[in-house]
Amino acid sequence: MDDGSKHGSGLHLSVYAFSIEDVDKLMFVLQDKFNLICSIHYNRDNKPRIYIFKESMDKLRSLVSSYFVK
């Protein structure tokens, strides 16, 4: 339940340890399989992260909320 942070009304997924090719594949799966609107952003160190847009936050919550630890 880590490696992500709220950014504005959306969410950054920190995937810094992955290659840009793997980040691109993951983003495609999020878009294609889960219908999430997302893009690749880069941090100050030019490392990739996935941004989930605010329009997809309700969908994302419904997908992952059952896995949250209270």
CB 40 within 8 A of CB 14: no
Whole-number Å distance between alpha carbons of 29 and 23: 10
Range of the domain at 27: 4-59
pLDDT score, position 60: 93
pLDDT score, position 1: 53
CATH number of domain containing 16:
3.10.28.10
Q: How many domains does the chain have?
A: 1
Instruction: Give a yes or no: residue 47 inside a domain.
Output: yes
pLDDT score, position 17: 87
For the chain, 70 residues long, the average pLDDT of each consecutive 10-residue run is 73 90 95 96 90 95 88
Instruction: Give a yes or no: residue 68 inside a domain.
Output: no
Instruction: Give a yes or no: residue 69 inside a domain.
Output: no
Instruction: Give a yes or no: residue 43 inside a domain.
Output: yes
pLDDT score, position 7: 76
